[in-house]
Amino acid sequence: MGREEEERYDFDACRSGESEKLELLKALRLSQTRAREAEKRAASFAKERDSLYCVFLEDSMRIFAYRQWMRLLEVQVSKVQKRESAGKEGDDDGEDGVGVSLFMALALCLGIVGVGFAFGCKYLL
């Protein structure tokens, strides 16, 4: 009877070893499934973050351009007000057109610098 008990013990040990292996394989499969799902979620969050960043960047560039445009308009209004307050004496040297074009060129340069700065920040961050 001693030999039958040893064989039964070995058989039970073998069965318990197989069941442990099956449990480990199931746990591994579940872990891999969770890891794949986590990777998919991380990729979707990264894609959403990038799209929000692009929208934010576009809006900030648009706001910057509007600010520059408002500054230009304020300068033009102040020039018109100065001209009206000085009166119409016929003392027009033609400098008014040069001043406006100078301010327009300045506003354009500042706009280009702002857009370049925004793109630079995008690629640095």
- What's the pLDDT at 14? 56
| Band of pLDDT at residue 67, cut at 50, 70 and 90 | confident
> With 90 as the cut, is the pLDDT of residue 40 above it?
yes
**Which residue's entry shows tokens 């030999």?**
3
Per-residue pLDDT at 47: 94
Of 101, 110, 121, residue with least CA distance to 54: 121
Instruction: Work out the pLDDT band at 34, boundaries 50, 70, 90.
Output: very high
CA 25 to each of CA 22, 29, 32, 33, 120: distance values in angstroms, whole numbers, following the listed order: 5, 6, 10, 12, 49
Contact 114, 65 (CB under 8 A): yes
- CA atoms within a 13 Å half-sphere pointing along the CA-CB vector of 99: 13
